[in-house]
Structure 1
């Protein structure tokens, strides 16, 4: 019994096999671009891995861009801070030189002029830009952060405590959050004497006690801190720790400028049986105002949980120039962002007025504090910069690993591809040759 095979069936089978061979060859030719994955059906497992690796690569590239931008921002900031600390070092030296009582009025005027030039340079450095952004302006990076007034104003005069003084008086109502007291407000009496006000509890001390007398208490009574009775009087209700009581903000702006209420302030105390009227001591000087904010700019450097502090790449005015008695946490004012600049302007004003005594004590302490504040900020920024440099190295290594994974899962094996192409081409050519000889004879026999 013979089995008849129709010509249509034979032709269809031949065409299908020929088309399959052609399809295989075409797919192999697609890999000539270097990739063996063009669609999920090529290899579903490898394609799934390829997609995951590609997402990781895109994330890595974004983090690398963030880190690169962050490092550029921090290098610009660091360069400005280095120049600032250098200027402040010179400013300290000039303060020491100005404290020498042998300087005449002409000498002091020359030093004051040099100091003003240095402060103006600090303000200029505070307005350093990266592209079109001010690096020290916080998140208000499009607003010029530091502006010096052209006119002089009446600014309160702070008594900046030396290290030993601060240690002694810090036990007296220190509520500024740091556990220490660094400054007092200077008062002038109608008896011609100077007094100091602890703004944290309203206690008033004589100049002699704050500057020298406290040492006798330490020596004679073997105590390390001030106690009740050392004061000569108290301003009633002056206790920032309690709501509804007087604060520095009631009499001064956050830059230290005396307000109308401050101008009208006076209080009486009894000294040696006599009533003395006290008012706030002031000095006429220019002031610098800060128009940025204290918010950080974050540039995320790796996936995972958000770390706003660790990812912050900028430093702000309050960090560079600290706070003083007029804008610390106990003052009732918000941070000015220019405290140390205004303190340096006070030093400069004292130089101009040839106040050698003030310069020999408070002036040098202020200059030291200004320099120390900026150096601390520079150190913190340097630590963050090193962290980002370490992350940059890590991201570079990760990128190499991810790229290798992508290559392994998606790239064509050229040698293997060449062999497969030759095989498929040979099969295809053989099919064409065989079909050319067999199909016509089969059809003829059938017919």
Structure 2
């Protein structure tokens, strides 16, 4: 077979170029330690590396989502722990508000709870960065605002904490598929932490904060009956409440003739809805007698005539009277506990409180009271009672529409005293505080602990997920390394071998290349 000079040259240069390409490939691999730089290097490994890199990117994003979720939940959990501490303190204060404390002490407890309510509102406005954790999806607006609002229908004002958030659950995906907010939620909304939503004068409020404000108002009140118009006719609660628990009423004057109330409406939901009182349930009074309204369930409410009484009309608000039943009954302190029992009756005609003491000055043989005197200045001066109707009980007429009924008893004695204050409802209702208010705080706190427990369960799940993702990331990175990395020692050896062979080929090629015409042109 004839070997031409050009063929020898071509084969030599082709082999030399292949060796140089191999050397360049090894040098490129040694530069970054990777075996694959383009799909053509190894299509199978390149496809596998692409899949690994995709999985690593997804895992990295889920890990970031999980870290964001943990940060949100840790902030929420810390706020709930602070809230729990405040609720425990409020419960201690409410329990301490018993009938052994004077009104001044109860007022002080009310002011302490008022400050704790501010702390609760501050906790409700906890932020993570510039986002409010209890705002639901509306997390860029301050969710809780403590303010006083007015009912446009009645003019009734009320202190509330408005909730500007919503009840939307936030979720951050940490796995393939659509996130389920009911299972994957990372937040507690204001409704979760502060109770079901309620509507007050058209504004959204939450039950826990409404309860706390009710407790504060009870402890700091100066009168159970609140009048929007202090110059209007005096309102009085009568009858005996036959319902269960307590009921709040708002009574609005709708019509006035010559100062006498002849039309009214009532609300039993804080002034949100009003119902006109039927004529059959309204006994119109006169200039000397009050109008009496039958509110049902054994409760009546009377409003005295007054030239300052104002009716509700379109564009103007009518006088509103607010109160709760059952009201605390008037308690009478007896100097002789073995003596006849006493009860207070009548309709008190003043707004400020009066302290009465009645002292027995006369008795008959059966123990019936035949004479008495009274004082309203802690015993400095004693005055004969305006009237006394003998009998069993004896009806002792006092000032301001009040009577004291004293039963006959053989243990009655001259000098026995009976002391009481009217209206009794200027005092905080410790019975309501020890019953309803205490249950409010306990039930609300238990609800919050349940919500925090649910959050803690999700936090534990996310901690396990974080550990799994870290392990998965390690496995993927190991797969990437084993699939695309080179054996450094082997690559160096191969590179040195290739370099040596390349140089040897150059040396040998220079000798075996056949002479050309150029070699003879000298």
Aligned residues of 2:171 and 2:179 also touching (Cα < 8 A): no
Q: How does 1:128-207 map to 2 (within 5 A)?
A: 128-149=126-147, 151=148
Number of residue pairs aligned between Structure 1 and Structure 2 = 313
TM-score (norm 2): 0.57
> What does residue 288 of structure 1 align with?
161
> What does residue 83 of structure 2 align with?
84
Q: Which has the higher strand share?
A: 2
CA distance 1:362–1:259, change in 2 (3 Å): farther
RMSD of Structure 2 on Structure 1 (CA): 2.4
Q: State which of 108, 111, 128 in structure 1 corresponds to 2:109.
A: 111
Cα distance in 1 between the residues matched to 2:205 and 2:13 = 83
Cα distance in 2 between the residues matched to 1:27 and 1:340 = 72
> What does residue 227 of structure 2 align with?
none
Cα distance in 2 between the residues matched to 1:363 and 1:116 = 15
Structure 1 position 444, deviation (Å)? 8.3
Cα distance in 1 between the residues matched to 2:512 and 2:48 = 46
> What does residue 46 of structure 2 align with?
47
Cα distance in 1 between the residues matched to 2:489 and 2:180 = 48
CA distance 1:4–1:63, change in 2 (3 Å): closer
Cα distance in 2 between the residues matched to 1:340 and 1:446 = 110
> What does residue 342 of structure 1 align with?
210
1:389 has 2:257 as partner: no
Q: How does 1:328-407 map to 2 (within 5 A)?
A: 336=204, 338-353=206-221, 354-407=428-481
1:419 has 2:493 as partner: yes
* Bigger relative CO (Cα 8 Å, ≥ 6 apart): 1
Secondary structure of 2:162's counterpart equals strand
CA distance 1:139–1:80, change in 2 (3 Å): same
Aligned residues of 2:34 and 2:485 also touching (Cα < 8 A): yes
Q: State which of 169, 192, 195 in structure 2 corresponds to 1:322.
A: 195
Structure 1 position 365, deviation (Å)? 0.9
Structure 1 position 441, deviation (Å)? 4.0
Structure 1 position 338, deviation (Å)? 2.0
Structure 1 position 395, deviation (Å)? 0.3
Cα distance in 2 between the residues matched to 1:146 and 1:72 = 22
> What does residue 187 of structure 1 align with?
none
Aligned residues of 1:134 and 1:144 also touching (Cα < 8 A): yes
Cα distance in 2 between the residues matched to 1:295 and 1:368 = 26
Secondary structure of 2:183's counterpart equals coil
Aligned residues of 1:316 and 1:337 also touching (Cα < 8 A): no
Aligned residues of 1:285 and 1:349 also touching (Cα < 8 A): no
1:58 has 2:57 as partner: yes
Secondary structure of 1:125's counterpart equals helix
Cα distance in 2 between the residues matched to 1:294 and 1:344 = 21
Cα distance in 2 between the residues matched to 1:54 and 1:152 = 58
- For structure 1, which runs of at least 5 residues remain unmatched after alignment? 154-257, 265-281
Q: How does 1:235-250 map to 2 (within 5 A)?
A: none
Cα distance in 2 between the residues matched to 1:424 and 1:443 = 33
Aligned residues of 2:77 and 2:456 also touching (Cα < 8 A): yes
Cα distance in 2 between the residues matched to 1:38 and 1:340 = 63
Structure 1 position 304, deviation (Å)? 3.5
Secondary structure of 1:303's counterpart equals coil
> What does residue 93 of structure 1 align with?
92
Structure 1 position 303, deviation (Å)? 1.9
**Deviations 1:176-219 (CA, angstroms, capped at 9, x unpaired):** xxxxxxxxxxxxxxxxxxxxxxxxxxxxxxxxxxxxxxxxxxxx
Cα distance in 1 between the residues matched to 2:517 and 2:122 = 96
Cα distance in 2 between the residues matched to 1:337 and 1:404 = 54
Q: Higher Cα Rg: structure 1 or 2?
A: 2
- For structure 2, which runs of at least 5 residues remain unmatched after alignment? 222-427
Secondary structure of 1:406's counterpart equals helix
1:71 has 2:70 as partner: yes
Cα distance in 2 between the residues matched to 1:146 and 1:416 = 68
Structure 1 position 305, deviation (Å)? 4.4
Aligned residues of 1:322 and 1:337 also touching (Cα < 8 A): no
Cα distance in 2 between the residues matched to 1:87 and 1:113 = 14
Secondary structure of 1:25's counterpart equals helix
Secondary structure of 2:46's counterpart equals helix
Cα distance in 2 between the residues matched to 1:287 and 1:87 = 19
